[in-house]
A = this chain, B = another copy of it.
């Protein structure tokens, strides 16, 4: 048998990206209501059509004043001002004030023309219906959000490729944006292969068989990352059946993922099936990564479909899936999907796998000590325990206890 001619993970990604470019793969967009846009990826730069607020707004309950009038005001030497009116919430304020005058403004109400600051009510005293004492000076603009301070007209408020957060939704709604163009969800078909696999819901599994946990795990990763699972299907270790299944999905999805069946065993048809559905043959057969070496990729140019054969071990399967799929989505949309990390100190020595990049699942404690989850390859429990993973680069020998490491949080 041939030995693997392995790629680095970067080389593997580059080959896929090249095909994406070459074939003008495009995710396209759909327009959704703003309230349905959470966690979707913004399709184009959004410029505000209006300004916000559209008036000078008080950020406190108090009196709108001309800041100069209050200079020198203190607990012992107050300044006295005439009350000439009151601002009402949500109403345009039409009076204007002159030196020596003030207007009551509740939080969020409009300042009268002429005023440029607000004295908090806590720093004032009503002497009569018409007069107040001010015990604290305010500077120009103090306790005021000026017209257009929050959003200017034509201002770029959301960039293409931004994954939309609740904060973005707050901003967009403030600007009156009620619909957003977002990238369509990438569409994936998951095919699990292997005669040893049983449905995880089956009452009892025979000796020698295992429950298929990879399909439901990959579906969950998709769900939480807003990837559309078009279909999940199990196929026997049979070339013809597998070939037909892959062919069937070619014009229906963006990515076909085969889980299991990518190592060098006699019954591994994944390689030939991917090859025979990719015009340019296998792109990558084997990645210099641990775990995850037996990863195979291909690309169907006619249908613009990426085909990925994932390793069967659950840890490798989950990690390689995340890295490749996130990489593809980020390449197409310019989004940053996996951007929560921390640096912490590792509690144990870690050896790297020679000639491979090593991914190590870890726990992160609240004090940011990082503990590797050491277990044999293929132990599914470690995925449940992990908070994140660290990467030991190719050619690094390992990490010493006490060194700082960068942890990528698993979402």
**Chain A residues in contact with chain B, CB under 8 A?**
1, 3, 34-35, 38-39, 50, 52-55, 57, 59-61, 88-93, 104, 106-110, 121-122, 145, 149-151, 157-158, 165-171, 173-176, 178, 194-197, 200-202, 205-214, 216-217, 219-221, 223-224, 237, 260, 263-268, 312-314, 318, 339-344, 366, 368, 376-381, 383-387, 409-410
4 other contacts beyond A38-B224, A168-B384, with CB at 8 A cut-off?
A88-B195, A157-B384, A166-B217, A167-B217
Contact A313 B210 (CB under 8 A): no
Contact A165 B267 (CB under 8 A): no
Residues from chain B with a CB closer than 8 A to the CB of A410 are 165-167
Contact A121 B1 (CB under 8 A): yes
In the complex, which residue of chain B has the Cβ closest to the Cβ of A314? B170
Contact A169 B220 (CB under 8 A): yes
In the complex, which residue of chain B has the Cβ closest to the Cβ of A377? B59
10 contacts between A and B (CB under 8 A): A1-B121, A34-B200, A35-B220, A108-B312, A166-B220, A167-B380, A170-B213, A173-B217, A178-B201, A341-B368
CA distance A94 to B245 in the complex (A): 33
Query: Which of B166, B339, B381, B384 is close to A165, meaning CB atoms less than 8 Å apart?
Result: B384
In the complex, which residue of chain B has the Cβ closest to the Cβ of A3? B122
Identical chains in the assembly: 2
6 nearest A-B pairs in the assembled complex, by CB-CB distance: A167-B383, A106-B265, A342-B342, A90-B196, A173-B200, A166-B220
Residues from chain B with a CB closer than 8 A to the CB of A341 are 342, 368
Contact B267 A89 (CB under 8 A): yes
Residues from chain B with a CB closer than 8 A to the CB of A90 are 194-197, 206, 208-209
Contact B170 A208 (CB under 8 A): no
Residue from the set A109, A170, A201, A264 with the largest chain B CB neighbour count within 10 Å: A170
